[in-house]
Chains A and B, each alone.
Chain A
Amino acid sequence: EPEVTQTPSHQVTQMGQEVILRCVPISNHLYFYWYRQILGQKVEFLVSFYNNEISEKSEIFDDQFSVERPDGSNFTLKIRSTKLEDSAMYFCASSGLADANVLTFGAGSRLTVL
């Protein structure tokens, strides 16, 4: 069964450092998303991406965050200058045209900011 793959599975970084989380969505999907879950809290929507541009973003997704689809297969989330409160599990997801609101999620990337 097709999977969404995320790397790294766990990253530890110092406050103020830049972090890039990588995702390989399902190959024929056209919609891409990032969600995050701070420990003990709800899974929260960050951003959705379609046709090479952001289609929707939450209040969390401020200027410190950016997303990119640098080639035909990868979808990345960059945090420019990490803060302690960015520590969370970050989930990438994708969906196809036929069933656009049925998302397939990756296993997540755990980010720890020290």
Chain B
Amino acid sequence: AQSVTQLDSHVSVSEGTPVLLRCNYSSSYSPSLFWYVQHPNKGLQLLLKYTSAATLVKGINGFEAEFKKSETSFHLTKPSAHMSDAAEYFCVVTLTGGGNKLTFGTGTQLKVEL
């Protein structure tokens, strides 16, 4: 079985300050991990993915995430928030090579203030 826990349902930052969205995972086997973003009235857009290559993964729009097996974490970061980053972010896990069924976290709503 696999699951992800997003530790914060809401995060609020000021524009230009760093963003940290936290995610812990649980998986019996080698996981593949993803972050998806959802802007209002838009589909779920892939930000980045980890599939057992480099542990530091760079994604679109300046986001990155680090896979830490010892901490079972896959936190999403960005050095400097922009107003356009305001959206809901989902941490997602699936089994590497084990089919394509995704298990979603509950989501973190990111608010960016001036």
Which residue numbers of A lie inside 8 Å of B, CB to CB?
Answer: 3-4, 31, 33, 35, 41-45, 48, 55-56, 91, 93, 95, 100-108
Contacts and interface: CB of A to CB of B under 8 A. Distances in A.
Interface in B33-88: 34, 36, 41-46, 49, 51
Contact of A42 (B36, B43, B96, B106): B106
B46 A45 contact: no
Contacts of A41: 106
A107 B100 contact: no
Interface residues of B, number: 23
- Among A3, A41, A44, A107, chain B packs the most CB atoms within 10 A around the CB of A107
Interface of B: 32, 34, 36, 41-46, 49, 51, 90, 94, 96, 99-107
A107 B32 contact: no
Contact of A101 (B36, B42, B94, B106): B94
27 contacts: A3-B43, A4-B43, A35-B104, A42-B104, A42-B106, A42-B107, A43-B44, A45-B101, A45-B103, A48-B99, A55-B99, A56-B99, A56-B101, A91-B43, A100-B100, A101-B51, A101-B94, A101-B100, A101-B102, A102-B49, A104-B43, A105-B36, A105-B43, A105-B44, A105-B45, A106-B43, A107-B41
Contact of A91 (B44, B96, B100): B44
By secondary structure, the A interface counts as strand
Contacts of A4: 43
A95 B44 CA distance: 13
B100 A103 contact: yes
Contacts of B105: 42
